[in-house]
Structure 1
Amino acid sequence: MKIVYLPTAAGLYLNYLVHGMGVILMSLNMQALEQQWQTDAAGVSIVISSLGIGRLSILFFSGILSDRFGRRPFVLTGMVCYVIFFFGILCTNNIVMAYAFGFLAGMANSFLDAGTYPSLMEAFPDTPSTANILIKAFVSAGQFLLPMIISLLVWANLWFGWSFIIAAGIMLLNGLFLLRCTFPAHPGRPRSCTPSPTEDKAPHCSFVDLASYTLYGYVSMATFYLISQWLAQYGQHIAGMPYTSAIKLLSIYTCGSLLCVMITAPLVRKTVRPTTLLMLYTFISFIALVTVCLYPTATVVTIFAFVIGFSSAGGVVQIGLTLMAARFTHAKGKATGIYYSAGSIATFTIPLITAHLSERSIADIMWFDTAIAALGFLLALFLGYRSYAEEKRRPMLTL
């Protein structure tokens, strides 16, 4: 770890606090945006899906380009795009323009991911899992703070747009800060194809592993993204909770994810294999979602909002990325692009599916998430098996 990169890391993490707000800003302001855009909940959900399309459109290429041209330009470009999104949503009065600004926010997320994850892995090469998991802590912090901010705005009878302006203000100030920070060196042009002795011992990414990690990127993202968008609606309309109590479910959910990050970060650094945590957390997430679907009461939803946040949003996405990136020694940006491209497909397709399911019942949305969590658990078991087989094979190759 290099001290010079600590301010840079702080600025990068702060971006993801704002990103955590940005992911749920439209869903928590759904009623106000329905009136502003003259549409319904399904229309707002379709606009939310634009974030996934925008993210998918450039994530793979931005990851490759960040390996060549550096991380800083992509981080700063993402911040500018996010600021435009925050102000643009407030200025539009139809879903067509809103969709365009949502698309831009998805691109912003791609730029941030392409620059941030590789930067942190390069700045802290001895603890890359911990560095990446901490991103989730700041995403969760943003999702924890935003419902409180919106509750205060509702209590004070203030304009909902202040929540967007606060997020934009933090991003602007942080951009000025990051302009003065030092970023770690990046690989630049592709290196010689001849591997070093260290690289030769590193696990290689077969097609089966590549496909498995990519699919896990989709499933893990879909599981927690769906919850973050619909948990408040589920609490209000299925569990019968008041609106102000329902939106606080997201704060409880993010408390669970924050606690998980605090527990997971030291574990992956010292004692527990990351694949073991993947299997454990995805199993807990599946059981928790089944419980919420079978017993949709205010008490059960409140308790298990914390459990679901702990298990599905506490860093499993970042652990999966770190495991995959370990197989792309000099192309971490490319690995990030592939992994999160799968995740962005989830953020595009899931809102479209839930827009249809919401016309039937919000309860069906939660059952749908339960099925996705079950698939995630099966994938985690497979990745754990592959990792164990790789570890057994490697000592035999060195004999």
Structure 2
Amino acid sequence: MKKMKKNYVPTSISLYMNYLIIGMAILILPQNMDTLANQWHTNIASVSVVIAAVGIGRLVVMLVSGMLSDKLGRKPFAVMGALTYILFFVGILMSRSLLVATIFGVLVGIANSFIDAGTYPALMEMYPQHKGAANVTIKAFVSAGQFILPLIISLIVANGLWYGWSFMLCSVILVLNVIFLLVFSRFPARQVAQPTTTKATPAAPVKGNVWIDGTLFTIFSFLAQGIFLRVSTWITKYGESIVKMGDVSSRALVSYYSVGSITCVLLTIYLSHKGVQDIQFLFVYMLLSFISLLIMYLFPIAWVCSIMAFVVGFSAAGGVMQIGLTIMASFFPNGKGTVTGVSQTAASISGFVVPLLGAMLAANIANVILLDVGLAFIGFVVASVIVYRYYKLFGRTPKGTKTVTTPTLSKETN
């Protein structure tokens, strides 16, 4: 097992690099909004159309790309996603109208879907004993990209340089990454789960019920995405309007939220390697999300909200969705790509529906947080049922005994 992990380290780092650029891509349009509005001969409000188009692209192809990943392998989708991102960065620079830019916005959503379809299943197959930690690390790289890009743009602005250098930097990194993926990377062959055991009695394959478990995980993905979207979007306004915090203090809530997210990623990786199960993370994190949001709503006090912003970031934005996806894959081991497609499609739908619900309640920002409390409560209930289903299907592995599912591999994919 250790040898296998060592062999896949360069490939996994390359896959994570894609997500570093995705983190930068998430902010690159909003950070250049004024310049792009002038370039496209439109106003700032219209630039948000291009940003929204990303969700359309994800929704259109996510499920299909996940299913095809199970049939064609992981590597083609990781490569196609990176290539499509390059088209996005170059295309945005060349766009001279809102329509053309919107097309490239849809394209980057498709690119994101391709990378998800290739990466999540590949990481679970590369590191079968630490699937949750491997997928949660994706969140760390996305956050790192979101941290780095504003610094790069600040440097560009301070030196009066062309705004497009940030786009070109992302493109160059992806070009190098594509070359590595094509020439040097090694991916596991597609897997068919055939359990063998170590220090345990052989057991028959366990699969979840498509209708019961599939529905539960789809709802969970929808809620997990909605919870952290609401908080990240409205927490500054909540601090300003309801808690009556100053401008700097209310904006700092986002920083506390981000620090909580990174802290959770690091702690999850550490505890996972210490033997804590993914299913335990799922239950605890969803409970913390509900409690912290409820406290934030009931006690709109500056110091309380500052602490709860950290806790919400820790529990709701620290990789709980990736953990849910990993557990879902254990219920349906022969369809990791399809599982990724279903989960991310539900998240994409949430990205449309939940903002609309929030907008309807925006007259009173407190109601927006109350909506998040409700989502978190339902999410906790769904997570509790998932935990019950998990232990019903898989049981509780005795301490010191580990059951290993060894997939049948035809050959490695180079």
Range class of TM-score, shorter chain = 0.7 to 0.9
TM-score (norm 1): 0.83
Equivalent residue for 2:276, pick from 267, 272, 277: 272
Amino acid at match of 1:257: S
Contact 1:218–1:342 (Cα < 8 Å) also in 2: yes
C-alpha distance 14-274 of structure 1, shift in aligned 2 (>3 A): same
Q: How does 1:138-287 map to 2 (within 5 A)?
A: 138-153=141-156, 161-187=164-190, 200-231=204-235, 242=247, 250-287=254-291
1:115 CA displacement: 0.6
C-alpha distance 285-153 of structure 1, shift in aligned 2 (>3 A): farther
**Secondary structure of 1:260 counterpart:** helix
Hey, what does 1:22 align to over in structure 2? 25
Hey, what does 1:310 align to over in structure 2? 314
Q: How does 1:1-399 map to 2 (within 5 A)?
A: 1=1, 2=4, 3-30=6-33, 38-39=42-43, 41=45, 43-92=46-95, 94-153=97-156, 161-187=164-190, 200-231=204-235, 242=247, 250-293=254-297, 302-354=306-358, 360=363, 364-392=367-395
Amino acid at match of 1:25: I
Query: Hey, what's the Cα distance between the residues in 2 that align with 1:230 and 1:343?
Result: 18
Query: Hey, what's the Cα distance between the residues in 1 that align with 2:371 and 2:184?
Result: 44
For these two proteins, the number of residue pairs brought into alignment is: 388
Amino acid at match of 2:228: F
C-alpha distance 128-345 of structure 1, shift in aligned 2 (>3 A): same
Q: Higher helix fraction: Structure 1 or Structure 2?
A: 1
Query: Hey, what's the Cα distance between the residues in 1 that align with 2:157 and 2:291?
Result: 34
Contact 2:206–2:394 (Cα < 8 Å) also in 1: no
1:232-260 CA-to-partner distances (Å, cap 9, x unmatched) read 666677766558x8766555433222211
Amino acid at match of 1:276: Q
Contact 2:152–2:166 (Cα < 8 Å) also in 1: yes
Moved more, 135-144 or 179-188: 179-188
The root-mean-square deviation of aligned C-alpha atoms, in Å, is: 3.4
1:349 CA displacement: 3.1
1:47-67 CA-to-partner distances (Å, cap 9, x unmatched) read 333222211211111112112
Amino acid at match of 2:112: N
* Unaligned stretches of 5+ residues in structure 1: none
Greater C-alpha radius of gyration: 2
* Unaligned stretches of 5+ residues in structure 2: 197-201, 399-414
TM-score (norm 2): 0.80
Query: Hey, what's the Cα distance between the residues in 1 that align with 2:391 and 2:91?
Result: 49
Contact 1:278–1:316 (Cα < 8 Å) also in 2: yes
1:156 CA displacement: 5.5
1:43-99 CA-to-partner distances (Å, cap 9, x unmatched) read 444433322221121111111211221211111111111122233334445543333
- Percent identity at matched positions? 43
**Secondary structure of 2:331 counterpart:** coil
**Secondary structure of 1:66 counterpart:** helix
**Secondary structure of 2:176 counterpart:** helix
1:160 CA displacement: 5.3
**Secondary structure of 2:208 counterpart:** coil
Contact 1:50–1:348 (Cα < 8 Å) also in 2: no
Moved more, 111-120 or 229-238: 229-238
C-alpha distance 278-126 of structure 1, shift in aligned 2 (>3 A): closer
1:161-184 CA-to-partner distances (Å, cap 9, x unmatched) read 544444333323322232222332
Hey, what does 2:403 align to over in structure 1? none
Amino acid at match of 2:145: G
Query: Hey, what's the Cα distance between the residues in 2 that align with 1:376 and 1:8?
Result: 34
1:302-331 CA-to-partner distances (Å, cap 9, x unmatched) read 544332221111121111111111122222
